[in-house]
Amino acid sequence: MAEVVDPITISVIRHRLEAIVQEMGEAMLRTSYSQILTSSRDFSTALCDAEGRLVAQAEHVPIHVGAVPWAVKSVRQFFG
């Protein structure tokens, strides 16, 4: 039987995962040599679970996130 997690713990974990994807985006901006990333910020960051399901996304360009499940599926098929 699955263990029940209280709402406070769920909220803490959700906010931490959102902070992680925001930090991923900031790291991309700091380390990128691409003008597309640094000037227009035309990128997105997301975190998926082992099955490829979206867990958290940053609010950089949310429209990109629609392609995340297919991209993750392709990467998983290619690399195994």
Residue 10 has pLDDT above 80, yes or no: yes
Q: How far is CA 62 from the centre of its chain?
A: 10
Q: How many CB atoms lie within 10 A of CB 12?
A: 11
CA distance 59 to 46: 9
Residue 65 has pLDDT above 80, yes or no: no
Residue 62 has pLDDT above 80, yes or no: no
Residue 38 has pLDDT above 90, yes or no: no
Q: What six digits make up the tokens of 60? A: 């950089």
CA distance 58 to 43: 10
**Domain ranges, ordered by start, for the chain:** 7-79
The single-letter code of the amino acid at 17 is L
Answer for the pair 64, 43: CB distance below 8 angstroms, yes or no. Answer: yes
pTM, entire model: 0.77
pLDDT in tens, 15-27: 999 999 999 999 9
pLDDT score for 21: 94
Residue 68 has pLDDT above 90, yes or no: no
Answer for the pair 58, 23: CB distance below 8 angstroms, yes or no. Answer: no
